[in-house]
Amino acid sequence: MIVSCDNKQVKRIAKLLKSAKYRREEGVFVVEGIRAFLEVPAERIESVFVSESLSADPGIKKRLNSLPTEVLKDDVFQKVSDTVTAQGVLAVVKMNEYDLDSLIKEDGLYLVLETIQDPGNLGTIIRTAEGAGVDAVIMSKDTVDIYSPKVVRATMGALFREPFVYAEDLSAAVKKLQSKGIKCYAAHLKGERTFWEEDFIKGTAFFIGNEGNGLSDDLSSKADKLIKIPMEGQLESLNAAVSASLLGYEAKRQRTLRGFIAVIAAAGLMGLFSLNAYADPASKILQDESVGAMVVFDPHAYNDESTDKLGIEVDDEIPDTESSNLVMANVKSALHVRAKADIDSEIVGKIYKDCGGKVLERGEEWSLIETGELVGWASNEYLLFDEEAEELAREVGFVNAVVIDTAVYVRSAPNYNAPILGIMSQNAIAEVINDGESRWVEIAYGDENGFVPAANVKIKFEVDHGETMAMIKERKRQEEEARLALIRQRESMQSDENVQRLLGALIQCEAGGEPYEGMLAVGAVVMNRVRSGAYPSTVYDVIYASGQFTPAKTGSLSRVYNNGPKQICVQAAIEALNGYTNVGDMTHFRRAGTKEGYVIGHHVFY
């Protein structure tokens, strides 16, 4: 075990984190964090360093097999870490080298970056490039080092899959692209046509300039055509990563539609579609709403091969029983997950009621399971497998839309001319109300239902997962801090009047725009939990229980409480507190359309 920061290996890591020159000399760089470490191909790992506290984690130990590993004392690891909160693992990884000539192909798609300086921008561009199917990212030699820690983190693993090169002479690299038939476009304010009016079906390269100064005149002059990204208001430019995303995904969209035509033609169905409409650039396609309506982007309507061609990423909602590795907790409250298949073994985490995960190894009495970041052994007596697990998952699981682009507009109706309700950033999650439309997904957005383009989100079926003991400890610490901050407020809430006010505030946050029956139903759900024995026994503790009511977590509940809820919401709270219920003994509710149950207004109760 390494116990001192004076250790040579520790000093080398610190130098690799800080110096691009040293990284180039050594031919290696540092990857930090559990998720990033798991993304690295094993053959590229030179060595691994793990903190003492994480070294016993079963999931990490499994990955460390056959890898050269050193254990660092926790305080030493924290000091060498490049992040504020160290996750306990980092790896020294060999750099990858690509040759530009081998990456160029006639119908390829390329991003050409000039003097990008922001690590976050470069990391996001690399990640977006992978998602849009870009064949390579070509960078000027003065672009920020792709192996710097911030860029590596921002790529979210795409660094190990997306080809890239630094060009000693960017103009020469452009000439090489053009000599192979690649048409080069510069995103520029002087562009006469918008990017969606161009045809990117054939070989295409997009020039993206520096964050502050844009493209140089020299590189702009090398482009075959200047194109513009239209903007409202007084904006003169967009973030470099946003520009790269827009251009890359427009090319992907056009190529996807062309691939779709090929599938239709092969099936002998061209008589049902307009070939000319799909061959046109975006501006013409979007003018004809009937064209878009003909394209069936229902992933369940195609086999795996054809959906891959359509560019749709499909997550099966529930795995087939025969091949299912799904596991669900069969407990009233929580189940201990242990380091070994032994009741006396160390507890490494907990999995809770209605939570699930996957089986890594199934035994007669104990099974090794993975649920979120937690990996360990649990007694089969308290687990559900196969059909029983699937049945429970369908009942308690939920369908989310995860934003896969840099950002996406949420609109009030499923068309691009509808008013914008707001913006969701990359990796933002929203509950899906309806994903039956081919081009749009209906989501829960605040108190309203909104719509986002299906191409900008990934649909995921999920169930809640367990927590490691470290996660539980951190969560309890945060909860305790919040509890201490609210202690005076809580004391004032103990009177009958203030309990009414608290419940009324929650009703206003969750159902303020619903009919009175919907308000009363939310209050009844809270009181059913209080009386059930499976939840805390006070209104305050039910409302502020971890992960239960979003307004309690975000602070909006406290604001409504302090300002005073609407009288009609207080009246609903009083009725619920007096024992009246219009939803029986139901203890859950969600946005209507997400699952079966008793629907009142925009909510379904179950």
The tens digit of pLDDT for each residue in 311-320 reads 323 334 444 4
Sorted by sequence, the CB contacts under 8 Å of residue 147 that are 6+ apart come out as 20, 23, 29, 95
Nearest to 521 by CA among 583, 597, 598: 583
Can you count the helices (H) and strands (E) in the chain? 24, 29
Residue pair 564/555 in contact (Cβ under 8 Å)? The answer is: no
Residue 406: its pLDDT value, please?
74
Residue 144: its pLDDT value, please?
92
Alpha helix (H) residue ranges in 156-303: 170-179, 217-222, 240-266, 275-279, 282-287, 289-294
593 has pLDDT over 90: no
Is CATH 1.10.10.2520 what the domain over 486-605 is classified as, yes or no?
Answer: yes
482 has pLDDT over 70: no
Which of the four pLDDT bands, split at 50, 70 and 90, describes residue 307?
very low
For the chain, give every domain's residue range.
8-94, 100-251, 321-396, 398-462, 486-605
Provide the CB-side half-sphere exposure for 212 (13 A, CA): 2
Q: What percent of the chain has pLDDT over 70?
A: 84
Which of the four pLDDT bands, split at 50, 70 and 90, describes residue 485?
low
Residue 483: its pLDDT value, please?
61
Which of the four pLDDT bands, split at 50, 70 and 90, describes residue 21?
very high
Cα angle 59, 331, 576 (rounded to 5 degrees) comes to 125
* Domain 100-251, CATH among 3.40.1280.10, 3.40.630.30, 3.40.50.300, 2.60.120.330: 3.40.1280.10
Q: Could you read off the pLDDT of 424-472 as tens digits, one per residue?
A: 878 888 888 876 656 888 888 866 788 999 888 888 877 888 899 998 8
* Domain 398-462, CATH among 3.40.50.720, 2.30.30.40, 1.10.3720.10, 2.60.120.10: 2.30.30.40
Residue 447: its pLDDT value, please?
63
Q: Could you read off the pLDDT of 404-416 as tens digits, one per residue?
A: 887 788 888 888 8
Residue 341: its pLDDT value, please?
93
509 has pLDDT over 70: yes
262 has pLDDT over 80: no
Average pLDDT over residues 483-505: 65
Determine the CATH number of domain 8-94: 3.30.1330.30
CA 62 to chain centre: 25
270 has pLDDT over 60: no
Q: Could you read off the pLDDT of 203-215 as tens digits, one per residue?
A: 999 999 887 788 8
What topology does CATH give the domain 321-396? SH3 type barrels. (2.30.30)
Question: What is the rounded CA–CA span in Å between residue 116 and residue 118?
Answer: 6
Name the least confident of 117-126, 253-262, 266-275, 423-432: 266-275
Topology match between the domains 321-396 and 398-462: yes
Question: What is the rounded CA–CA span in Å between residue 590 and residue 398?
Answer: 10
Residue 324: its pLDDT value, please?
63
378 has pLDDT over 90: yes
391 has pLDDT over 90: no
Q: Could you read off the pLDDT of 572-587 as tens digits, one per residue?
A: 998 888 888 888 889 9
In terms of Cβ atoms closer than 10 Å to its own Cβ (0-12, 13-18, 19+), residue 25 is exposed
**pTM summary value:** 0.47
Average pLDDT over residues 480-498: 57
Provide the CB-side half-sphere exposure for 334 (13 A, CA): 14
